[in-house]
Chains A and B, each alone.
Chain A
Amino acid sequence: MLNHLAVLQVVVPLLAAPACLILERARAAWLFTCLACLLSLGISIALFLQVQASGPISYAMGGWEAPWGIEYRIDALSSFVLLLINLVAVAVVIGANSSLVAELPESRHSPFYVLLLLCHAGLLGIVATGDAFNVFVFLEISSLSTYALVALGRDRRALFAAYQYLIVGTIGATFFLIGLGFLYSLTGTLNMADLAQRLPGLEEKRLVAAAFAFIVIGIALKLALFPLHGWLPDAYTQAPSMATAFLAASATKVALYLLIRMYFDVLGQEAVNALFPMGALLLVLGAAAVLLASLAAIRQDNVKRIFALSSVGQIGYLVIGVGLGSALGLQAALLHLFNHALIKAALFIAVAAVVCRVGGSRLDDFRGLGRAMPWTMAGLLIGALSLIGVPLTAGFVSKWFLVLAAMEAGLWPLVALVLIGSFIALFYVWRIVEVAYFQQRDGVAISEAPLMLLIPLWGMALANLYFGIDTSLTVEGSEQAVNFLMGSRP
């Protein structure tokens, strides 16, 4: 049983999804989904400990050895990301029932859980597998379920947002497929470790560059990297609130994982930068994302949209860390990947709680909620402080590392950019705080959010505080991942 943990990580949610379809009662489906996600979290913890203790795990699917068969490979990087996705999934699923009761008719509940589990399985699969074509398949599993999740939203605009996301997402996945086709025709292998060994010796540098360009553009579309982020604000605003909480915290993080895997592990940083200035490109795009998306967030009057655009900006920080290319920069990116997932999970669950009680997420709907829903707003406030990067929160730790990495590289404009980005975040967060705490609400009294939403919200909020003070788990986990990535390709 323990030998099969690597594949069970993906199989458990994948099989739980159709089983959920059979459970027609909404509550039964919810409890079953909770159980599946908790089991999945347990597996990821076991995998994390196992990798920390005894190094990477390789699992040959169906007994076929790599590179002929499909290999599942859990190393320091993937076990770190697996743990994160599972934490987020558990938090979201616990609160999902209370939020869905307010947002969707009961007949739509079990489809929601089916899609959530499928998306979860797809994301875990991308991280767990060591086979590049398998990545494409899981990418499509998670994407297809995401389109349907977005389309479940109450408003008819959700349908159009889902359609647009589908078009962009399919183009992205197909670009990724074209890139893989080039790599396969060059090397004759699809196993990522095998690719990493064969690529450096190749003569056809231009074809490798073309393959990498296709792959990076494909991933950038999924990652919503500026300027390919057009689909994200609409999709996140229109999806059911808890679906947004899950997607914002996990889907883009997995896309970033894929970028890091391809850039540092499969193709190798030096090899790529010898072909074209990838690092500089990422720095420029990341900086543009931080500035422009954050500025756009100030002008919005829907809180979901504010946080969605702030996600685009935060992806900018992640990409800057990757673009710096140093060990410290990569560690900053991984730390922020973890911390930003906790931040966005807390914020979007808080928004879900507001939608649950008030019925909308416009700025006006937040009027006077500081008094009416004190616990929800306090949770949102902690998440927001972490988003800004106030000391003693998780957001501070990752921004601190990013500033250190930028100083190490001597890039002072980047240091200034991180500070400016934080100021802009302070600005759009303040608009929400002002409405919630300093404006009066008239009319019907609003009661505090249901307990089952407050539990995951405060779980995530306290995690933001905890990982801001005791950083041993995140810093060591990311350090090991960095050592692994940098060590494998000296």
Chain B
Amino acid sequence: MADYYNYLVVVLLMTLGLYIVMTQGNLVKKLIGLNVFQTSVFIFYISTAKVNGGTAPIVIDGAELYSNPLPQVLILTAIVVGIATMALALALVLRIKRAYGSVEEDVILEQDKPC
């Protein structure tokens, strides 16, 4: 069971994040959920890269077993993508707040109803 500890955390965070996105009506809280969801996938990738007994993938004297560096590089890219997404999303929320005066989903939908 201890071997799968990382993956349990991943599954927990993943479902938690998705749950927050689906159930929260506050636009900022939704984004927090989205972030948790994305981060869980990052942890998943990094966990798959771990080689038992391996050290960090840097050439060191005496070390023979290294962790796989590729997933870490991939996730570095994915983190950059995640930051860009979050920046754009928060900018949108700012504009929404200015246009509607609220960041609550139901208040926003209510305002556009008569149109």
Report yes or no: A159 in contact with B88, Cβ–Cβ below 8 A: no
**What is the size category of the interface that chain A forms with chain B?**
20 to 34
Expressed in whole angstroms, the Cα–Cα distance for A164 and B28 within the complex equals 12
B58-115 residues with Cβ-Cβ distance < 8 A to A are 71, 74, 77-78, 81, 84-85, 88-89, 92-93, 95-96, 99-100, 108, 112, 115
Contact A170 B112 (CB under 8 A): no
**Does B38 count as interface, using CB distance less than 8 angstroms?**
yes
Mark interface residues in A111-146 (1 if CB within 8 Å of B CB, else 0).
Answer: 000000000000000000000010011001000100
Alpha-carbon gap, A160 to B84, bound state (A): 18
Contact of A159 among B30, B34, B77, B99 (CB under 8 A): B99
Contact of A171 with B37 in the complex, beta carbons under 8 Å:
yes
- Known contacts: A160-B108, A171-B37, A181-B48. The answer to whether A166 contacts B88 by CB under 8 A is yes
Residue A384 is within 8 A (CB to CB) of chain B in the complex: no
- What 0/1 pattern do residues 16 to 43 of B give for CB contact below 8 A with A? 0010010000010010001001100100
Q: Determine whether the beta carbon of B41 is less than 8 Å from that of A184.
A: no
**Partner pick for A181 among B21, B38, B41, CB 8 A cutoff:** B41
* Contact pattern, A 136-168, Cβ under 8 Å of B = 1, otherwise 0: 110010001001100100001101101100110
Specify which chain B residues have a CB less than 8 angstroms from the CB of A157 in the assembled complex: 112, 115
Nearest chain B CB to A167 CB, angstrom units: 6
Count: A-B pairs, CB below 8 Å: 67
Contact in complex: B92, A166 (CB < 8 Å) = yes
A143's closest neighbor in chain B, by CB? B85
Q: How many angstroms from the CA of A159 to the CA of B91 in the assembled complex?
A: 10
A462 an interface residue at 8 Å Cβ cutoff? no
CB-contact partner of A151 in B34, B77, B92, B112, under 8 A: B92
Residue in chain B with minimal CB distance to A151: B92
A58 at the interface (CB under 8 A from B): no
Known: A177-B78, A181-B48. A171 touches B88 (CB 8 A): no
Q: Which residues of A contact B77 (CB under 8 A)?
A: 133, 137
Contact: B37 with A174, CB < 8 Å?
yes
Contact B92–A147 (Cβ < 8 Å): yes
Is there an interface contact between B99 and A162, defined as CB atoms closer than 8 Å? no
User: Which residues from B are CB-within-8-Å of A133?
Assistant: 74, 77
**A interface vs B, CB < 8 Å?**
133, 136-137, 140, 144, 147-148, 151, 156-157, 159-160, 162-163, 166-167, 170-171, 173-174, 177-178, 181, 184-185
